[in-house]
Amino acid sequence: MSPETDRRTDCLADWCADAEWCGLTCALDVLDRKWSPVVVAVLLDGPRGFAAISDAVDGVSGTVLSETLDDLTDAGIVERRTVSERPHRVEYRLTAAGRDLEPAVEALREWGERHGTA
């Protein structure tokens, strides 16, 4: 009954207890934050600046959006590009791994369209 027995040690999610659901838990770990999937969905339409994302994702605070983008960047899903301009601008775009999330995000969105209404 040792919890380590069938645990995937190469899994990014530290709460992945059993190998059976490791893929799922890893994906969930990356999209753990409330707004992460929505941000990914926004960026699937193309690169955006901070303000554009903030506008598209109505309801998120600047602080949290910043943290969310940081986490997504650390996870290798989002890439930051600082544009040397005045005023200061930063562009966020999905990496290949990020774009690869499209089927999952799409599937979730479609489910919501079908079942998520009262």
Under the rule (CB under 7 A), what is the footprint of DNA? 15, 32-35, 49-51, 54, 59-64, 66-70, 80, 87-90, 92
What is the distance between the terminal CA atoms of the chain, rounded to a whole angstrom? 43
* Signed CA dihedral, 25, 95, 74, 108: sign only: negative
Q: Half-sphere exposure (CA, 13 Å, Cβ side) for 95?
A: 11
- Smallest distance, DNA to C-beta of residue 90, A: 4
Q: CA 41, CA 28: separation in Å to the nearest integer?
A: 15
Q: Which does 78 bind (CB under 5 to 8 A by kind): DNA, a copy of itself, none?
A: none
- Smallest distance, a copy of itself to C-beta of residue 91, A: 21
Q: What residues line the site for a copy of itself (CB under 8 A)?
A: 3, 8, 10-13, 15, 17-18, 20-31, 34, 37-38, 41-42, 56-59, 76, 97, 100-101, 103-118
